């Protein structure tokens, strides 16, 4: 059984597509937990539903709270007059799912330190609470490809280290067809900034079609540590800046 918290260096960096890619390549039963879904109405598909669409496989999907406005979970909950999500609540949901799933993926909202409740608890606190229940969670960080990513990745890695949470690795959420100089240089610099391996680079636009095409893209874009065949050294060498 593996528990993997998926966070990002910010919002709209590709957390959902990376979560889907990891789920698509996993063997055995997989559960996807979204502690706080924001920016969608009651009947609209959320991030967990998008993971199911992309993978085309049978997954256990669970959402703990949903708020209509696209804001940080604490802010969205307060404005909607709805309850917030507490770390222990999330941890207990993870533990329940872990009983009969080989992989539990917990997708956060925004970055690692986005507030989920009025006391300022974050996804990191949820992972710590899960560890307190005897689980061994690690964190996968989804980063952008271009300028600014080294700083936000390093800050996220430092925040994890300060809390004693293991960083599984970094995945670039969207790799363009024509990467610029900064993007190509970042392939070598991101693992240094994170102090953890680069475990993949998903091609931009790979979410257009779910099912087999997406699974193929996931397999060739994620490293063996995440179930794929992607080679970080070869990919970096192929994009080395002149």
Q: What is the CA radius of gyration of the chain?
A: 17
Q: Which helix (H) or strand (E) holds 62?
A: strand 60-63
Q: Among residues 6, 18, 25, 34, which one is catalytic?
A: 34
Question: What's the CA gap between 173 and 118, in Å, rounded?
Answer: 30
The question of whether 34 is a catalytic residue gets the answer yes
What φ, ψ does residue 40 adopt, rounded to 5°?
-135, 150
| Runs of H (alpha helix) within 81-224 | 87-98, 123-132, 149-162, 181-194, 212-221
Residue with tokens 């709209």: 12
Question: What's the CA gap between 217 and 36, in Å, rounded?
Answer: 28
Distances (CA, A) of 134 to 6, 57, 110, 118, 232: 19, 29, 26, 26, 32
Burial class (CB in 10 A: 0-12, 13-18, 19+), 242: exposed
Question: Distance between the two ends of the chain, CA-based, in angstroms?
Answer: 43
For the record, the structure tokens of 61 come out as: 């999907």
Q: What angle do the packed helices 212-221 and 47-55 form, to 10 degrees?
A: 90
Question: What's the CA gap between 61 and 36, in Å, rounded?
Answer: 13
Active site residues: 34
């Amino acid at each position: 059984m593996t528990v993997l918290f998926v966070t990002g260096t910010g919002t709209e960096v590709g957390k959902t597509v990376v979560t889907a890619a990891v789920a698509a390549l996993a063997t055995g039963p997989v559960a996807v937990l979204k502690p706080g879904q924001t920016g969608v109405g009651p009947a609209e598909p959320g991030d967990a539903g998008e993971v199911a669409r992309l993978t085309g496989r049978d997954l256990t999907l669970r959402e703990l709270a949903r708020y209509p406005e696209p804001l940080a979970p604490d802010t969205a909950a307060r404005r909607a007059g709805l309850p917030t999500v507490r770390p222990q609540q999330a941890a207990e949901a993870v533990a329940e799912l872990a009983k009969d799933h080989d992989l539990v993926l917990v997708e956060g909202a925004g970055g690692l330190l986005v507030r989920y409740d009025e006391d300022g608890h974050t996804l990191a606190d949820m992972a710590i609470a899960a560890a307190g229940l005897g689980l061994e969670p690690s964190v996968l960080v989804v980063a952008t490809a271009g300028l600014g990513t080294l700083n936000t990745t390093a800050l996220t890695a430092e925040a994890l280290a300060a809390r004693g949470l293991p960083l599984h690795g970094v995945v670039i959420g969207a790799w363009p067809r024509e990467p610029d100089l900064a993007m190509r240089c970042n392939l070598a610099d991101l693992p240094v900034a994170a102090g953890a391996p680069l475990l993949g680079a998903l091609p931009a636009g790979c979410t257009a079609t779910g099912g087999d095409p997406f699974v193929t893209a996931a397999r060739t874009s994620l490293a063996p540590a995440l179930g794929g065949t992607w080679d970080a050294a070869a990919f970096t060498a192929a994009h080395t800046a002149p």
